[in-house]
Structure 1
Amino acid sequence: MRSPKLSRKTVLVSSVAGAFAVVGGGAVIAEAASRRGGDEPEGDVPVDDETTPDWVETQMASMSLADKVGQLFMVYVHGESADTDHADAVASNLERLGADNGAAFIAGFKPGGIIYFDWANGLTDPEQIVALSNGLQEAAEVPLLIATDQEYGRVVRIGEPATQFPGAMPLGATRDAEAARNAAETAGSELRAMGLNLNFAPDADVNVDPANPVIGVRSFSSDPELVAQFTTAQTGGYQAGGVAVSAKHFPGHGDTGTDSHLGLPVITHTVEEWERIDAPPFKAAIAAGTDLVMSGHLQFPALDDSLRPATLSEPILTGLLREQLGFEGVIVTDSLEMEGVRTEYGDERVPVMALQAGADLLLMPPDFPLAYDAVLAAVDAGELTEERIDASVRRLLALKVKRGLIEEPSTDPSGLDVVGSDGHRQVAADIADRSITLLANDGTLPLAAGSVLVTGWGENTTARLTAALNTEGLQAEALVTGDEPDADRIKAAVAAAAGRDLIVVSTFDVKAGGAQANLVAELRKSGVPVVTAAVGTPYDAAHLGAVNASLATYSYTETSLASLAKVITGAVDPTGTLPVDVPDANGGTAFAFGHGLNYT
């Protein structure tokens, strides 16, 4: 029989001098212990490939249903330390989790993992990050999966001083899978040094929709085989660097015009198109031994005519991913805070439905106490069996064993010297140098000397590019016009261009006839040569008309902008080639997959 329901009122746990007090009555830790039942395990069982099943079963035998349900959740906690008493962090944790900090929450509910975000955990100082990781692990009886979304490029949670790599599409532009593996291994070693053991990467989506608002440069390419090759490379690389990996977003998020953070996308591919376009990278990831596969919050009618989002679809998660593709690892949901999974079902039903569909790890429910109680109630009501819960917990425990967390859950801070090391930064710089793609050039580039106006999108982008051009020997000045420059800003840019030898315009997410396109059109009339640099997707180039030179960086990281400056000045010969087709306004192709010019 299930223990009495733990209401929001009775789970407000706060840590006081190493003990725990309860806001609203009831001894939470005592209640949690009674839920667990039985004796605590006497210690870690030595782990190797032969003893893994025995350790998992020993651990399972020591866990109550409540303990097991806790393992099914990964949440974020607020605070830069595990035992934070910062008022804002405590208030946020109490509201979402029912505990005042990470340590108290972990002790009370035994979650399977914690996910980091810069806005929740700081993440600016490697020493702080590893201390947070170790503090959370010290509070856990079963070691935690500690994760983040460190795709690099457009999606990055841990910034400088950690090495900043260009991201997926720039890697695709290099056509070098070994470089992708090296980037992942290098990045993985830095994450592991800071106490993280899981990265929600690589992105296995095939970006075949140029208007895709959520994937874009997060994808390696529009070519399924290229994405499969690079997904395989990065899977092995991250694991070699010491972290588990998760291919995402199954069954494929690359052909949608809706952002699943904001709504429910619909993928209209046929089964045959799914087999040809979306499936190859996931098949490759599974063959390469990916630890997890993340579901996407999207409808795929050809795969499940019930129109449930894939996260809640048994035909997709169990029938397709488990049974047809043979994936035996952990299925993790995308964030349950996203609107794509909440459009038709309440926050109390979504976790239960995800487990019924075949998910193992429930990521970021918006109301943890509600979700936790809902899963326990579903078992009590017979909607979920304890055997179903056990199957997921066994996979999670086996993953923790596989990635060495049982023997070594904490991290030695003395290993932090790898984070942002000169050698790692050089790896990133070399990749960025090889990714810059020259789409068009009338002979204007390279420019080894002269006066340059840097304008366009992004205050940090224009400032960093200006500094990099000055480092390369040009006399550059910046004038930010932004993503929607008005007539006055455009007029100011034209005036600032007078007398210059070159104008470099950074662009991001340009729309046909939009303000950024108008800026470029007016600058072209100035008589000064104009070079455009797409620092997001390369699709911008189709909307900017004929310019003297057009480049794609696929990234606005400082590393990529430094490489862009080297290409503009000729210090580096561009060798990147398009990993996607860039369509023109008439339904044709402006620049084809594989296109890329150089100076030699």
Structure 2
Amino acid sequence: MFRRLPVLAGATVLLLTTACGGGDEPRPGERPAQPPDSTDPEAAAAELLAEMSLEEKVGQLFVPVLVGTTAEENADVVERYHPGGFIYFPENLETPEQVAAMSNGLQELAADSGAGVPLFLGVDEEQGLVSRLPFGARFPDAMALGATRDPGMAAELASATAEQLAAVGINLDYAPVADVNVNADNPVIGIRSFGSDPELVGEMAAAEVTAFQEGGVVAVAKHFPGHGDTDVDSHTGLPVIDKSREDWERVDLPPFQRLVEAGVDMIMTAHVLMPQLDGSQEPATLSPDLITGVLREELGYDGVVTTDALNMEGVRQTHDDGEVAVRAVLAGADQLLMPPDLDLAHSAVLAAVREGRISEARLDESVLRVLRLKLRRGLFDAAPADADAAAGVAGNAAHHDAAQRVADASVTLLRNDGGLLPLAEGASVRVLGVGAEEIGAALADLGLAVTDSADGADAVVVGTDGARGDAEQRDLVARARASGAPVVVVAQGTPYDLAALPGIDAYLAVYSSMEVSRTAAARVIAGAVSPSGRLPVDLPGTDLAFGGGLGY
């Protein structure tokens, strides 16, 4: 965790008079030609800050969406705005070689522009449901990790992910999710959370943070002050969490408190309204009481705070996009992620500083935090990504094996009436529903006879994902039951489906629709793996609670 040294606070005032007093235009002849001499991030960041124009400092606050698949397509944005970074999405990512070349090109553009500050190149690579890379090992979702109860596996996921990202020049991952999922109807977190127990979530998230940062990749814990108790998706609306300060401190706070103490590089805000914690009627992203008051002053966090994406409707309810950017900075945010109109947002923040609404001292606080983190993670002297090495890492067999081990350890057997599972070798099985092709292929490889009809089958396996809210999936399970064959459900989303599927004979929760999770389910059904996962959440509407799970 970063701590502002007393000498730096005094030095900042002096730097403001020299850096900003002579006008806002860059001074190319005074630009450092290489990284600052000091090896202390505090002193080096101050040295860099003194050489930056006002526009360049404001630029460090912005992280826009990347355009296209080449650096050249983004050259104008780098030159005009000097952004603090970019965020990659699937449309920007093709092959390891292409991503490495694009990352290298972007860093070259940044080095040749303005103060020459390198870029955060970030991505949402949580693994599981939220994964952007089209190559490399695919691990199960966070809830599957929670079911293993093994922080070593969380660290293994983050280490492998960090290696894959760093190989293609991506130096920041918007992960892990530190939200405690206590709402079965949560439409946006769910299996992205490690579970409903604050201690478990904190332990697993801390393991990932440590592994990401040891791998040279900036870790971003999200979404403060907590998005696990919502029934509204903040991408489409503003969730309201009407819980007391006491309840929030008991459930949502502990993982973030643990990560602050562990020195997490960056924390992302949530676009949620918590009226009992903050009377401003603003989402947390725009709340000085929550970001500056609670996160900074009460928890003592002096790392980088980033907003969640500013193009989400949860933060666009009451202000225009320029005002949202200004208010986020005033609330205490250091980086503004994905403004829907970069020019409008940049102009609004720049004007707010020039007019004194955002003080230059407040701006410099954020820029110093950003620069310190870039120095601490070695961005100024990072070697270019090597395309050949990137291709090798993407196909790393050890990473794929690790993903399968995590999936195998996560499978949670919650019902097994009459000892139906494991099925005997050679048993006939009809496979239907979500993931049927992959589950069926894995069962066939394990010696079971996969049939085209339920008639005479020893069991019908039905894959589900969110059946509680999907009548077609529930109807498919009902038709399988009507066949007269025993029914095995493989739940690949949250495990809450069980309450909506009465009368089934066996129920497996794998918490993920990744191929490794479907293979793991097949291994348990066939008896090649004994189920060892334990429920990471309570199951409302059933007699099963956190920690539940059967074995063979």
The TM-score, its normalising length taken from structure 2, stands at 0.92
> Contact (CA 8 Å) 1:143, 1:409: kept in 2 or not?
no
Amino acid at match of 1:116: Y
Tell me which residue corresponds to 1:124. Answer: 94
Tell me which residue corresponds to 2:502. Answer: 545
Q: What do the CA deviations read for 1:554-573 (whole angstroms, capped 9, x no partner)? A: 00101111111111101101
* Residue 415 of structure 1: how far off its partner (Å): 2.9
Question: Does the residue aligned with 2:321 lie in a helix, a strand or coil?
Answer: coil
Question: Does the residue aligned with 2:358 lie in a helix, a strand or coil?
Answer: coil
Alignment of 1:509-524 (within 5 A): 509-511=466-468, 514-524=471-481
Amino acid at match of 1:268: D
Tell me which residue corresponds to 2:44. Answer: 55
> Contact (CA 8 Å) 1:204, 1:281: kept in 2 or not?
yes
* Residue 57 of structure 1: how far off its partner (Å): 1.8
Q: What do the CA deviations read for 1:386-429 (whole angstroms, capped 9, x no partner)? A: 22111101100000000010111632334322223111111111
Question: Residue 81 of structure 1: which of 57, 65, 70 is its match?
Answer: 70
Q: What do the CA deviations read for 1:230-263 (whole angstroms, capped 9, x no partner)? A: 1111110111222010111000000011000000
Q: What do the CA deviations read for 1:179-202 (whole angstroms, capped 9, x no partner)? A: 111211121111111111111111
**Higher mean C-alpha displacement, 461-470 vs 134-143:** 461-470
Matched, 1:157 2:147: no
Matched, 1:329 2:329: no
Question: Residue 574 of structure 1: which of 517, 531, 547 is its match?
Answer: 531
Tell me which residue corresponds to 2:346. Answer: 372
**Higher mean C-alpha displacement, 418-427 vs 316-325:** 418-427
Structure 2: distance between partners of 1:512 and 1:135:
45
Alignment of 1:378-527 (within 5 A): 378-408=352-382, 410-416=384-390, 417-442=392-417, 443-447=419-423, 448-457=425-434, 461-476=435-450, 496-511=453-468, 514-527=471-484
> Contact (CA 8 Å) 1:286, 1:327: kept in 2 or not?
yes
Change (3 A) 1:153 1:280: same
Change (3 A) 1:34 1:303: closer
Question: Residue 122 of structure 2: which of 124, 135, 147 is its match?
Answer: 147
Structure 1: distance between partners of 2:175 and 2:546:
24
* Residue 34 of structure 1: how far off its partner (Å): 7.3
> Contact (CA 8 Å) 1:231, 1:284: kept in 2 or not?
no
Tell me which residue corresponds to 1:192. Answer: 166
Q: What do the CA deviations read for 1:339-382 (whole angstroms, capped 9, x no partner)? A: 00001111111000000000000000000001011111111222
Moved over 6 A (4+): none
Higher relative contact order (CA 8 A, sep 6+): 2
Tell me which residue corresponds to 1:530. Answer: 487
**Higher mean C-alpha displacement, 447-456 vs 286-295:** 447-456
Tell me which residue corresponds to 1:595. Answer: 548
**Higher mean C-alpha displacement, 68-77 vs 589-598:** 589-598
Tell me which residue corresponds to 2:182. Answer: 208
Tell me which residue corresponds to 1:349. Answer: 323
Change (3 A) 1:420 1:513: closer
* Residue 110 of structure 1: how far off its partner (Å): 0.9
> Contact (CA 8 Å) 2:166, 2:217: kept in 1 or not?
yes
Q: What do the CA deviations read for 1:200-243 (whole angstroms, capped 9, x no partner)? A: 11100000001101100010010011111111111101112220
* Residue 465 of structure 1: how far off its partner (Å): 1.6
Percent identity between matched residues is 49
* Residue 103 of structure 1: how far off its partner (Å): 2.3
Tell me which residue corresponds to 1:37. Answer: 27
Structure 2: distance between partners of 1:259 and 1:221:
18
Question: Does the residue aligned with 1:80 lie in a helix, a strand or coil?
Answer: coil
Question: Residue 296 of structure 1: which of 270, 277, 302 is its match?
Answer: 270
Question: Does the residue aligned with 1:445 lie in a helix, a strand or coil?
Answer: coil
Number of residue pairs matched by the alignment = 522
Structure 1: distance between partners of 2:96 and 2:30:
33
Structure 2: distance between partners of 1:269 and 1:178:
33
The TM-score, its normalising length taken from structure 1, stands at 0.85
* Residue 47 of structure 1: how far off its partner (Å): 6.2
Q: What do the CA deviations read for 1:471-516 (whole angstroms, capped 9, x no partner)? A: 22223257xxxxxxxxxxxxxxxxx322322211111112278332
> Contact (CA 8 Å) 1:513, 1:543: kept in 2 or not?
no
* Residue 40 of structure 1: how far off its partner (Å): 4.6
Structure 2: distance between partners of 1:513 and 1:63:
55
Tell me which residue corresponds to 1:18. Answer: none
> Contact (CA 8 Å) 1:309, 1:341: kept in 2 or not?
yes
Alpha carbon RMSD of aligned pairs, Å?
1.6
Tell me which residue corresponds to 2:193. Answer: 219
Question: Residue 202 of structure 2: which of 218, 228, 231 is its match?
Answer: 228
Question: Does the residue aligned with 2:429 lie in a helix, a strand or coil?
Answer: strand
Structure 2: distance between partners of 1:47 and 1:592:
56
Tell me which residue corresponds to 1:13. Answer: none
> Contact (CA 8 Å) 1:46, 1:407: kept in 2 or not?
no
Question: Residue 106 of structure 2: which of 125, 136, 142 is its match?
Answer: 136
Tell me which residue corresponds to 2:56. Answer: 67
Structure 2: distance between partners of 1:219 and 1:212:
11
Question: Does the residue aligned with 1:39 lie in a helix, a strand or coil?
Answer: helix
Q: What do the CA deviations read for 1:244-299 (whole angstroms, capped 9, x no partner)? A: 10111000000011000000001111001111000000011111110000000000
- Structure 1 runs not aligned, ≥5 long: 1-32, 84-100, 479-495
Question: Does the residue aligned with 1:306 lie in a helix, a strand or coil?
Answer: coil
* Residue 520 of structure 1: how far off its partner (Å): 1.2
- Structure 2 runs not aligned, ≥5 long: 1-22, 111-115
Structure 1: distance between partners of 2:163 and 2:43:
29
Question: Residue 514 of structure 2: which of 532, 553, 557 is its match?
Answer: 557
Change (3 A) 1:350 1:258: same
Change (3 A) 1:147 1:213: same
* Residue 168 of structure 1: how far off its partner (Å): 0.6
Structure 2: distance between partners of 1:356 and 1:269:
25
> Contact (CA 8 Å) 1:267, 1:300: kept in 2 or not?
yes
Structure 2: distance between partners of 1:47 and 1:293:
29
Tell me which residue corresponds to 1:14. Answer: none
* Residue 468 of structure 1: how far off its partner (Å): 1.6
Tell me which residue corresponds to 2:5. Answer: none
Change (3 A) 1:476 1:36: farther
**Higher mean C-alpha displacement, 310-319 vs 72-81:** 72-81
Structure 1: distance between partners of 2:470 and 2:270:
33
**Higher mean C-alpha displacement, 70-79 vs 361-370:** 70-79
Amino acid at match of 1:126: P
Tell me which residue corresponds to 1:8. Answer: none
Question: Does the residue aligned with 1:504 lie in a helix, a strand or coil?
Answer: strand
Change (3 A) 1:477 1:365: farther
Tell me which residue corresponds to 1:12. Answer: none
Question: Does the residue aligned with 1:204 lie in a helix, a strand or coil?
Answer: coil
